[in-house]
Structure formats: structure tokens, C-alpha cells
Chain A
């Protein structure tokens, strides 16, 4: 290349000086590009930090309006959900199950100003069990949730029975569903004949434990008696499922509370003036001003006792 000539792509010698490329060493160019990249990354981090800061400030000084809206369920039809899940019905059922637990927990632990409706509980359980008809915990836990008296649950033993019957339609030999059906009849509906019938049918199913048959007999003979109830829950307190053991322990504590309340009533009837005792959870009983009898306090872990509250429909 002759002096004064320019290579292709370079500027002619008479070009404006500000447009000319400055000769830089390789190291200089590399440093400059590294610095530029570093600046870009720093700017990105700074912007992200600003977004986080604005969000935190917004939460503190300009929170979103607190609108107590009921939860939404976009897909209500189990048949549509099953189709939309394609080949992934199991995972979709898991997601709806997690939502069921969240809904039940949120309603149950909601602040006093919130009206507990448990409106989505049955639709969510229906979706879960349609997507996965063998999801046994959803039937069994779901029946407990549905049967739980208000305000700790929706107080809908009828829906608990419907759910368990749906489970039995999917798995007719599952004695656990029939046994749970018996408990719903016994504990929530006080229908001892239906309960005994369910225990009897459960005891005839393959794999059923041997204690179910005598339980059916005791239930029928002593329907409504605490002895039968205690026998039932003591058996369940030895179940393999941890949640069932927990539920049975709670029911046994409630039965103990009933015994204390009866003893107190008898002592008062005999003319004594006994002190207000503690219930088995360690909370003092309340005295009902209308009857003068003991009732389990609302602050107690045992509240509500069976039949203690009117069930909303």
C-alpha cells in the first residue's frame, strides 16, 4: 500500500479528524470493551435494585387496596379440566390438591372480620378427584374438611358423604373410604344405624382390619354412647396414617372433655360448688350463663365440640 492511499473500509486521509479511527493497541481496545460490559452489568444491577426498592417502598407506603374478594376458580367443570390436562392429569390433580389445602387453611385461619364460606372447598376436591380418581388422601382428608363443623370447616357432612361415595365408585374395594363413611354418619350426623352398616360393609372388604367388625356391633348396640365412640377413636389412634392419628387424638380429648363436663354437672346437681376445671387441652372451660353448664371455650384447641355450633348451609 502506497503512502496516502487508503485500504478498503478505512477513511481517506482528508476525512474529518473526529471521524477517523484512533489507532489503539489490542490491550487498550480489550480493556475498553471490558469496562463497557462491566458498566452495562452494573447499570442492569442498579435498575433491578431500583425496581426492588420501589416495590418495597410501595408495599410499605402505598399498599394495594385491601379488597376481601372470594377466591376464583377459573375451571369449574371437572370434565373440562380433565381434557385440558392432556396426559398430565396426575400433576394437575396435585396442583388442585395443594390449592384445596391452601383454601381450607386460609379460610380456617382467616381474621375475625372475614366471613368464612369455604365456598371453593367442594369444587376443588371434586376437580382433584376427577383428575385423579385414585387420589385417596383427597377423598379421606377432604371428607374430614367437609364434615368439620363451622367455623373450623363448612359443616357439610352431606358433601363429605358424596365425596367418599365418589371414591368408592372409583375403588369399590377400598375399605378405608367405607370406614370414613361410617365415621361421618356416626360423628357428624349421629346416624348410628347407617354408621354401623358402613362399618359392617367395610369389615367385609378385602384387607380390612379385624377390629372393624366388633366396632360395627358396638356402634349398633350402643349407638350414641361414649363407650362406642371411644373404642372407635382408640382404634384409629393406632392407624398408620399420621393425620388420622392426629384427628383421633383430638376426638379422644373431646370425649375426655365431655366426661369432665358431665362430672361437673353431676357435682352441681348434688349441691356442690366445684371450681371451673381445665379441659384436656389445658384451657379453662366457660360456664354457659343460660344453663350454668360447662362449655368448651372458643379459645380452646378442642373447640368446637360436636353439636356445639349451628352449621350454616
Chain B
């Protein structure tokens, strides 16, 4: 496990070198710019819209990093042939996969934390000076701690996407891995429809296939509680725990699959 830790730190350092965190500048500019403009455009809905925008940007930036960095985690080592000296060291292939995943997860964690602080900062400045009776008319307070629930599930969401990207990247080219990962993400958004396939199709085989796909494909819609949190609709600790557990099981399955594929891969 020590070897995996070293790989993880190396991946994090590489992300810093590759200027992955530049997206934070864009995030900050987007939020600050929007907070200035939105007050003129939205008839007193600035706090709600900044919350929506902040959560959306956190999710979108995280997804882009998860997909486009995740797909190159393994393939870059193979293309640069740095995988040969790496595997000649006392490190198992499974440790390499685990380390790569943990390193990107660490990058995403730092990214998400900074974005969260920036979002709360902008919300603090927006709410400052707003009379208390106006604030009472808002669905939720500006600095609502429940926002952290949505952000936590966004992080879980991108952790699953990273695992999907790493899984495909363990045997496929970056381009195909990106296409596959995006495809799985999109299908995962409409996962619930697969369960109701019998309402539009009569063929039993197709219905069973759709039902199987419903259970096997990741349910990304489960991790989306942005709307609920912004409107103060309760998200129970039970739901959070069940979603985290589901993600954990799914990530473990994908990582073990990636390890199995990578351990049999021939680099000759």
C-alpha cells in the first residue's frame, strides 16, 4: 500500500505541474462575474441562481477533470514508455492502478474544497447587507450548510466517473476511453428509464436486457441533490449514506476490474 501512496502523491504533483488547478481561476471568475451581473438580470433571485451556478460549475469542472485526466492516467505511462521502468520497481500493477486512482481523487478533493470555499465566499458577500425580512423570504439561508450535502454527492459522483474513466483507460486508447466514459455517464443519467422499458416495448428479451442494464449501469442521477438542497428540501442522512455506499461498491468493482485487466496486459 505504501507504493500506491507514493504513486498517488506523484499523480497529484503531476496534476499541479499540468496546471489542472487553473480551472479554479475560471471558476472564481465565473462566480464573481455572475454575482455582479445576475443581480441586474434576475429580479431578486441572485442567491438561488448563484447557488445553482456554483453547484453546476463544481460538478462540470470536476467531471471534466475526472474524464480528461482519468482517461490518460494509464495510457500516458504506456505511450511515454515510462511504464517499463515503473513496473521494474517493487510495485504491483494493482498498486499502480490504486495509486493512480487515489492521486486523481486527491486532486479532485483539493479542487472541490477550494470551489466550496469560493462559493460560500461569494454567497457571503451577496447576503451581506440584505435586510433580514428579505432574507426570510428566501427558500434557504445564503450560507446554508446543507449545500455541503450536494457538494459531497458531487464529489462522490466524480469519484465514480473517475473509476469509469480509469477502467476504460486500463485497456483502451484515450479517445475511446473518453467516448465510453461520456457514454456511460449519459446513460447513467437516464438509468431510471430502463426500469420502465416494459411500458414502451413488448419483447420480453428486450425488457430483461433493459432491466439488467438498469441494475448494472451506474445510476448517476442518484448523486444529484442540487435542486433539493437549493430549495431546502430535506436530504436525509440515510439517503446520503446509501448513495455513498452504492458509489463505494461500484468504484470497488470498477477498480478491481481495471486491476484484473491491467495485470494481464502485455506491453511488448
A residues in contact (CB < 8 Å) with B: 83, 86-91, 93-94, 97-98, 101-102, 132, 134-137, 141, 240-243
Give 25 A-B contacts (CB < 8 Å), ordered by A residue. Answer: A83-B190, A86-B186, A87-B59, A87-B189, A87-B221, A87-B224, A87-B226, A88-B59, A88-B226, A89-B227, A93-B52, A94-B45, A94-B48, A97-B42, A97-B45, A98-B42, A101-B42, A102-B41, A132-B227, A134-B139, A134-B227, A135-B48, A241-B44, A243-B43, A243-B44
Flag B133-147 by CB within 8 Å of A: 1 or 0 each: 110110100000000
CA–CA, A134 to B49, complex, Å? 13
A136 near B139 with CB under 8 A, answer: yes
Any chain A CB within 8 A of the CB of B86? no
A137 near B44 with CB under 8 A, answer: yes
B227 near A90 with CB under 8 A, answer: yes
A134 near B55 with CB under 8 A, answer: no
CA–CA, A102 to B44, complex, Å? 14
Partner of B137, one of A90, A134, A141, A241: A241
- B39 shortest CB reach to chain A, Å: 12
Question: Which positions 34-54 of chain B face chain A at CB distance < 8 Å?
Answer: 41-45, 48-49, 52-53
- What is the number of contacts between chain A and chain B, taking CB atoms within 8 Å? 63
Tell which of A83, A102, A137 has the most Cβ of chain B within 10 Å.
A137
Residue of A nearest to B56 (CB): A91
- Known contacts A87-B221, A90-B56, A242-B134; 13 additional CB pairs below 8 A are A87-B224, A87-B226, A88-B59, A90-B55, A94-B45, A101-B42, A132-B227, A134-B231, A134-B233, A240-B134, A240-B136, A240-B137, A241-B137
Residue of A nearest to B41 (CB): A98
Q: Which residues of A contact B133 (CB under 8 A)?
A: 240
Any chain A CB within 8 A of the CB of B230? yes
Flag B227-246 by CB within 8 Å of A: 1 or 0 each: 10011010000000000000
Q: Which residues of B contact A88 (CB under 8 A)?
A: 56, 59-60, 226
CA–CA, A137 to B227, complex, Å? 15
Partner of B230, one of A87, A90, A240: A90
Q: Which residues of A contact B230 (CB under 8 A)?
A: 90
Question: Which positions 4-40 of chain B face chain A at CB distance < 8 Å?
Answer: none
A90 near B44 with CB under 8 A, answer: no
Any chain A CB within 8 A of the CB of B220? yes
Residue of A nearest to B45 (CB): A137
Q: Which residues of A contact B139 (CB under 8 A)?
A: 134, 136
Partner of A242, one of B44, B52, B189: B44
Question: Which positions 95-136 of chain B face chain A at CB distance < 8 Å?
Answer: 133-134, 136
Residue of A nearest to B189 (CB): A86
Partner of A94, one of B44, B52, B233: B52
Residue of A nearest to B150 (CB): A90
CA–CA, A32 to B232, complex, Å? 63
B43 near A90 with CB under 8 A, answer: no
Partner of A90, one of B52, B136, B186, B189: B52
CA–CA, A283 to B224, complex, Å? 53
Partner of A87, one of B42, B137, B220: B220
Q: Which residues of B contact A134 (CB under 8 A)?
A: 139, 227, 231, 233
Partner of A91, one of B41, B52, B186, B223: B52
CA–CA, A41 to B3, complex, Å? 48
- B148 shortest CB reach to chain A, Å: 17
Question: Which positions 199-234 of chain B face chain A at CB distance < 8 Å?
Answer: 220-221, 223-224, 226-227, 230-231, 233
Residue of B nearest to A93 (CB): B52
Q: Which residues of B contact A141 (CB under 8 A)?
A: 43
A137 near B43 with CB under 8 A, answer: yes
Query: Which 3 residue pairs are nearest across A and B when measured between Cβ atoms?
Result: A134-B231, A87-B224, A90-B52
Partner of B42, one of A94, A241, A242: A94
Residue of B nearest to A133 (CB): B227
CA–CA, A87 to B192, complex, Å? 13
Tell which of A93, A240, A243 has the most Cβ of chain B within 10 Å.
A240
Tell which of B42, B52, B186 has the most Cβ of chain A within 10 Å.
B52
CA–CA, A242 to B134, complex, Å? 7
- A168 shortest CB reach to chain B, Å: 16
Q: Which residues of A contact B186 (CB under 8 A)?
A: 86
CA–CA, A93 to B53, complex, Å? 11
Q: Which residues of B contact A137 (CB under 8 A)?
A: 43-45, 48
CA–CA, A222 to B48, complex, Å? 40
Tell which of B133, B137, B186, B220 has the most Cβ of chain A within 10 Å.
B137
B189 near A94 with CB under 8 A, answer: no
- A4 shortest CB reach to chain B, Å: 42
Question: Which positions 45-76 of chain B face chain A at CB distance < 8 Å?
Answer: 45, 48-49, 52-53, 55-56, 59-60
Q: Which residues of A contact B226 (CB under 8 A)?
A: 87-88, 90
Residue of A nearest to B186 (CB): A86
CA–CA, A135 to B43, complex, Å? 13
Q: Which residues of B contact A98 (CB under 8 A)?
A: 41-42
CA–CA, A135 to B231, complex, Å? 8
CA–CA, A189 to B220, complex, Å? 46
